[in-house]
Amino acid sequence: MFIVKSYLLAVILCVVTMMCWGSWGNTQKLAGKSWRYELFYWDYVIGILLFSLLVGFTFGSIGEEGRSFTADLAQLSLPTFGWILVGGIVFNLANILLSASISQAGMSVAFPVGVGLALVLGVVQNYILQAKGSAMLLFLGVLLVAVAIIVNGFASGRVQKLRAQKASIGAEASKGSSGSRKGIVLAIVAGVLMSFFYSFVAKGMDLDNFENPAIGKATPYTAFFIFSVGIFLSNFLWGTIAMKHPVEGKPVGYADYFKGTGSLHLVGLLGGIIWGLGTVLSYIAAGKAGAAISYALGQGAPMIAALWGVLVWKEFKGADAKTNGYLAIMFIFFIAGLAMIVFAGS
């Protein structure tokens, strides 16, 4: 299987992870113009599962080092399988809530609050699991990211207040403000749940030796596949609940899913593939960078999502100079925090 052997390459892969995790939400925004996020999410989940098989039978099966994808699957212990499967189940619930938050508050709010919170909490858990790198630099970086999250909250609150003041119809202003508040609450709950999934997956992997992994443990490619199975199977529960009890609008059913056009389904599949690419690269990089640093760099995704939300989707349209100042400060703190995390492992 393909194995990363240098810290620099591990960091590069983590940066790609950050780009993927921060960009998949664009597919939801594209589909959301005519497609409910609860229906989009099924294609997203299927895309992740199909991509996990593709990468397992390609990069997970080439080379002489480590165990091949099929051989690794055959030797997994039951606890390993269980830990990784639980990771997928927990992640899926968190990600559905994050998707709901995107539909309510937009990418530039949902990602910094939800994923940023997951970064802060998750790094602590993963560092306890595998202490690798400078703790001082790592947690200083996390602190800077936490400040960026708070500043983003200030910016979001201010732009909502400005829109309420400019709205000609009070009811519309109230509705928009209520939707944003609901989106922030959903993002917070999603962030807390999302902080746990990576540590569950890491417990099922031998992070110190991908070349000759311990018997019963999973390689990155096998872990990603089992994780994807957990996401897919749990979606029959979490996804169904989201469809029957949506945060906004009328309930939808499975019959509505099959009414979607081919292009809408492809957009959802693409979203799953983009997220899946970022995830498997994060698992691969964890062997050299460590679980905490690999997770932390990947969870720099809020900065990417916020850039998409601000520059492409115009989610802060109508903001004044002070709000734009908040956004600038947010990006500066995010970049500084991520730089500290990189140096922590070098």
pTM score of the predicted model: 0.84
Residue-level pLDDT at 179: 57
Residues in CB range of 152: below 8 A, 6 or more apart: 108, 109, 112, 113, 116, 302, 306, 326, 327, 330
Domain boundaries of the chain, sorted by first residue = 7-345
Query: By C-alpha distance, which of 312, 308, 306, 242 is closest to 100?
Result: 242
How do the residues of the chain divide into helix, strand and coil, expressed in percent and rounded to 5? 80, 0, 20
Q: What is the pLDDT of residue 70?
A: 94
Instruction: For residues 123 and 78, give the distance between their C-alpha atoms in angstroms, rounded to a whole number.
Output: 26
**Residue-by-residue DSSP string for 201-218:** HHHTB-TT-SSSPPTTPB
> Residues 264, 269, 275, CA angle at the centre, nearest 5°?
130
pLDDT in tens, the chain (346 residues): 899 989 899 989 998 999 998 898 899 888 987 899 899 999 999 999 999 999 999 999 998 888 999 999 999 999 999 999 999 999 999 989 988 887 787 766 777 788 778 878 888 887 887 777 788 998 898 889 888 878 877 887 787 778 777 765 454 444 455 557 788 888 899 999 988 888 899 899 988 888 888 999 999 999 999 999 999 999 999 999 999 998 888 999 999 999 999 999 999 999 999 999 999 999 999 888 887 788 878 877 777 877 887 888 877 777 889 988 988 998 899 889 888 888 887 6
- What local confidence, expressed as pLDDT, does residue 175 receive? 47
CA distance 128 to 45: 30
